Structure 1
């Protein structure tokens, strides 16, 4: 195994002829992931809610990397119709999908609902990506060679629990508890997807989870801005300045999970430094609750019911013999 302590973007492989979707590619971690993948030859589909901003970001990357292949596509993970439209358009124009980076997310915001009536953090961070992955599942299966699904979680998943009696915070809402729930759901989903792939005998599709540690991005600003809290905004800025690593460094775990040959699926990748908040990427354990297979199966069933999306896993040879 390569030594992850020295893993940087210089060790990214040649990604020529590889197609990658990055959700939330227009800012923060998604921007850095997109930039690094494009630099190494990947064709990157920038799946973004704000396409005008994404086009500006695309232009910025092309100024640095004039040969980059970038395709801005509208995707609102808070709207099931937008997700289905994105998938239909993608599959009509692309034959292959090598990596799906489920990166986009919202953090610690006042209670809001998606177009489908889901609490926004759970709806975008988990359900939106659950639906997107399921609708793109055939593309992942049918692409020759190995393909991957990499789902961005957070160290906050360790504080999370799945409250099936009040998934959408309608009875009681705490913005940080809702965020932690959504991030735990990300890890549960990544592991359960890996188990179901294994059980179906599917060896060429890998599912992994990752987290960026403490990275300085716009994500921390959005909650205080929505609340109009100048104090929280100032505190977040101070914490970022003192403790956070750059977004470029925070993107390394996702890049490592998306490309490293030594990974086999079902891993959780994050920074290997102080308290897993910064440093080079490495495989590490997630929370004890994230390995609860019964919890993961229940979440999967509930997610199918809420989104109306089911996954077409191939029948394993063991079940057909």
Structure 2
């Protein structure tokens, strides 16, 4: 695990189909680009079709665009139906899209925006596509979390949608913690299948559009210090790509940058917070997520 893992380590992806959410910019774009350049057919699942087409035009490879708004269960169901019709098999589902530190707002279905988009949206999307992955040997579901899963993070079952009070940083922490809990519980349910695995990754601190809603008090210092504290989207995408393509990866593993504080560096196996490993909370979150989204996974408990 000590080897420096780079883009050149991505195995040949010829014949594979990869669906990448939020692929028109930042980490998602770089993930899509590298997979396509290594031979995969990449479906760029994006909220804005025109921006998706513009991004696709910048990639030298086999790509297509699928409209997907993770803040709308109707859009998620429509996108999943399109993908099921167009792709009998999916090798990689990369749950990359996300929002961070948004002002208090809700999704089309009334969920708090960060929890609804980052967790519930990807939970539903994965459940609706899993039948396309399960028959495919070596298929993977990769969900992108964050170092933010450690910051003021808990699953607030008594106020999941932050209706009583709202703190953007804590809400983001809950959503990113939920991403990891979803990965671990999904892997437990997949383990008996022997074909598909679930993994997770985080990009460290990458200089992307995701930080546009950062609190004003932090925005200016972050801008000044960004060259020292962040890494490029291409570097930030490498943990996701390793979790998605490295033959040595096992289900339930979590990858992030190797540097101090996991802020920068080449991807390696990292450890998530103790809270993320709580099995009872994972299972409770799964049950609540099924209830809220109406999506049931085609897996035996």
Paired position in structure 2 for 1:10: 8
Task: Tell me, in whole angstroms, the C-alpha distance in 1 between the residues paired with 2:48 and 2:210.
Answer: 15
Deviations 1:236-258, CA, capped at 9 Å, x for gaps: 32232221011110000000000
Between the aligned partners of 2:41 and 2:300, the Cα distance in structure 1 is 28
Offset of residue 292 of structure 1: 0.2
Q: Which has the larger radius of gyration?
A: 1
Q: How many residues align?
A: 300
Spell out the pairing of 1:123-138 with structure 2 (5 A cutoff): 123-138=116-131
In 1, are the aligned partners of 2:183 and 2:199 still within 8 Å (CA)?
yes
Residues 252-311 of structure 1: per-residue CA shift (max 9 Å, x gap): 000000001111100111111111111111111100001100000000000000000011
Distance in 2, matches of 1:4 and 1:123, equals 36
Q: CA deviation at 1:95?
A: 1.4
Shift of 1:31: 0.5
What is the CA distance between 1:50 and its match in structure 2? Answer: 1.2
1:40 to 32, 38, 41: 38
Asked if the contact 2:135/2:195 (under 8 Å) is kept, the reply is no
Indicate conservation of the 8 Å contact 1:5/1:272, yes or no.
no
Residue matched to 1:185: 178
Other-structure match for 2:262: 276
Supply the distance in 1 between the matched residues of 2:292 and 2:221 (Cα, whole angstroms): 36
User: What are the ranges of 5 or more consecutive residues in structure 2 without an aligned counterpart?
Assistant: none
Out of 96, 113, 118, the position equivalent to 1:103 is 96
Partner residue, 1:313: 299
CA distance, structure 2, for counterparts of residue 214 and residue 4 of structure 1? 21
Secondary structure of the structure 1 residue equivalent to 2:143: strand
RMSD, aligned CA = 1.3
TM-aligned CA deviation for residue 158 of structure 1: 1.2
**SS of equivalent to 1:118:** coil
- 1:297 equivalent among 272, 280, 283: 283
Q: Is the 8 A contact 1:5 1:281 kept in 2?
A: no
Which deviations, in whole Å up to 9, do the C-alpha atoms of 1:92-122 show, x marking residues without a partner?
1111100000000000111110000000000
Q: 1:153 aligns with which of 135, 145, 152?
A: 145
Q: Could you say which residue in structure 1 is the equivalent of 2:201?
A: 210
Give distance in 2, aligned partners of 1:139 and 1:60.
28
Task: Detail structure 1 runs of 4+ shifted over 6 Å in the superposition.
Answer: none
TM-score, L = length of structure 2: 0.97
Unaligned runs of 5+ in 1: 316-321
Residues 139-180 of structure 1: per-residue CA shift (max 9 Å, x gap):
11123x210000000011012100001101100100000000
The yes-or-no answer on 1:164 pairing with 2:152 is no
C-alpha distance in 1 between matches for 2:181 and 2:175: 10
Alignment partner of 1:256 is 2:254: no
CA distance in 1, matches of 2:64, 2:256: 28
User: What TM-score, normalized to structure 1?
Assistant: 0.91
| Helix, strand or coil at the partner of 2:134 | helix
Residue in 2 that maps onto 1:116? 109
Report SS of the residue matched to 2:19.
strand
